[in-house]
Amino acid sequence: MVETQNLIHQNKQLARELKQRIDQLAAMGTVATAVSQSLDLDETLSTALQAVLDIVDAEAGGISLIDEEAGEVVLRAQRGWTQDFVVARPMRIPLGQGMSGRVISSDKVVVVNNFTRDEELAVPSFHDEQFRSIVMAPMHARGKIVGILSVMSNRPNRFGKEIVGVLCAIADTVGVALDNARLYEASLENQSQLSAILHSTADGIIATDQAGRIRVINHTAEGMLCVKSGSLINVPLREAPINPKIRHSLLVALSSREEDCNRVFKVTLDDGRVLSVLVSPVYVACQLDRRSETDGWVIVLQDVTHLHQAEIARTQFIQAAAHDMRNPLGAALNSLEALQPMVSDNEMARELVSIASLGINRTQELIDDLLNLEQIESGYGLDLAETYLPDLIDEVTIEIKPRLDERNLRFHVEVDRSLSTIRVDRKWMVRAILNYLENACKYTPRGGEVRLCVYAKGPMLHIEVTDNGPGIPVEYQSHLFERFYRANADASVPGTGLGLAIVKSVAEQHGGNVYVQSKPGVGSTFGITLQLEPPPDAVPTA
């Protein structure tokens, strides 16, 4: 008989525990459903608190969150209180103080079923609420306490084990929901700040995804391109209704084989504006391990028209001076050559004549480069003809070989065998490629490597010269093709600062463009792009 009674008692106890667990699970499900409807933090706080009060049938409640930066516990939501401790009189309790300090330090539920005015509080005015029973449960998210969930009653001994158990069960559910909402709120704030920065910058900025669809464009870029963002967002770059010259140059820049470097080039628009364009790849770290493709591109546009106009004025002055200086320099050099036999027995005099001759030769080289630039940019004497590409590359290889041997540099040539003829001025195209190669020879350390790569990608021919020299910081790259600009101003490296400007002019006179890809400490790739076929009326969409 006693055993039967014990069994009945145990069954009743198990039934009560089972019901308690079911109630806890139901409560967790109810709260989880309620708080999953929104990621707005204030709305989630209000919804969660109301759901908790409905489940435990309490008169009042509150949710406090930990502000780690301020070192405080802050009441963010309340219901059933007579005083406003959220907006009018914000309740901010230093960590470690008051009842909240007990909850956080012990990481356990604190139950006070006979709350009196004798209880020492961090906020004394809380006594005016006349609460007699209080339960405070820590809320966890991501392995740490993120806040405190509290329920209150005006009656003593209001909260038994069942309510405490339910509160414990749902506290972490509320904590995770609130933490997610807080993270979402932080992301919105960061997005707002980023948007403000993006639209206040003087540079035009465009961002695309991996497929080339435009995802972001700021106000400055809209103004530069004379187009509204609504007509560009989610539109593939090749179909974007922007200036054909810019679109074409961007597609050319993105067609290069090199996927991990910036591309820098300039575009002169029909209205005379000159834009400097920097194209940078964007990678997602987790994808970088499994494929080498880019995850998108960031395009930065700068209006450098004023710099271009200053360059034109400077060029006009230098060209006029160059013409005036060429004849007297020739006369001076002829005179020095005539003096050489007369001073053959005087070592000091021979050295002085040699130094003077060297200086005049360098000055004449500078003048010749300036006049070459004038000739190229004017278009006079440009003789376009069908040229067999392998023969052109062979000519370049033969001419550069002495310079390569002088510095003991390895030279590799890669030419797409499917290429045959192109329509170019052979003399100027050889000169342009040689300028690239001579530049590579100057800055590649002895025993290094130089590569000449010629390949087709879509309708474009790419001619690239790659070295393993010191590389060029990105802030200098947009100026490299300007006259007299030298990123590595080393006096021991000879040059007039016009070699790359000549390459740019040659490429543009052939309807092409130039670009550079470089990283400090890695090396540089300088490229020329040319149309393999006559350009269509619009940029191809395939």
Dihedral pair phi/psi, residue 393, rounded to 5°: -65, -40
pLDDT at 315: 62
Pairwise CA distance, residues 304 & 15, whole Å: 80
Given a cut of 60, whether residue 542 has pLDDT beyond it is no
pLDDT bin (cut points 50, 70, 90) of residue 225 is confident
Question: For the chain, which domains are there?
Answer: 2-190 (3.30.450.40), 201-303 (3.30.450.20), 383-542 (3.30.565.10)
Task: Say what the pLDDT of residue 486 is.
Answer: 65
Each residue of 53-89: b (16+ CB within 10 Å) or e?
A: bebbebbbbbbbbbeeeeebbbbbbbbbbeeebbeee
In this prediction the pTM is 0.45
Q: What is the pLDDT of residue 43?
A: 78
52 close to 31: Cβ distance less than 8 angstroms = yes
231 band by pLDDT with thresholds 50, 70 and 90: confident
Comparing 250 with 314, the larger pLDDT belongs to 250
Give Dmax (Cα) for the chain.
141
* The two three-digit tokens of residue 422, written as one number: 């192109």
pLDDT category of residue 331 using cuts at 50, 70 and 90: confident
Nearest to residue 484, comparing CAs of 313, 310, 322, 366?
366
- The mean of the pLDDT values for the chain is 78
The pLDDT of residue 204: 83
Is residue 139 within 8 Å of residue 148, measured between CB atoms? Answer: yes
pLDDT the model gives residue 194: 76
pLDDT tens per residue, range 69-91: 889 999 988 999 999 999 888 99
Burial (0-12, 13-18, 19+ Cβ within 10 Å), 272? exposed
Cα–Cα nearest to 363, from 340, 406, 341, 331: 331
The phi and psi torsions of 238 (rounded to 5 degrees) equal -70, -15
Do 149 and 176 form a contact (C-beta atoms < 8 A)? Answer: no
Q: What percentage of the chain has pLDDT greater than the value 70?
A: 78
Q: Please state the φ and ψ torsions of residue 75, each to the nearest 5 degrees.
A: -70, 120
The answer to whether residues 449 and 407 touch, using CB atoms and an 8 Å cutoff, is: no
| Model pLDDT for residues 395-436, shown as the tens digit of each residue | 999 888 888 888 888 999 888 877 888 888 888 888 889 989
What is the band of 34 on the pLDDT scale with cuts at 50, 70, 90? low
Model pLDDT, residue 387: 87
For the ranges 235-249, 293-307, 375-389, which has the lowest average pLDDT?
375-389
Cβ contacts of 404 within 8 Å, gap of 6 or more: 411, 441, 450
**Residues forming a β-bridge with 526:** 465, 516
β-pair type (460-467, 523-531): antiparallel
Backbone phi, psi, residue 321, to 5°: -65, -35
State which of 55-59, 129-133, 233-237, 301-305 shows the largest mean pLDDT: 129-133
The C-alpha angle with vertex 259 and arms to 254 and 260, in degrees rounded to 5, equals: 125
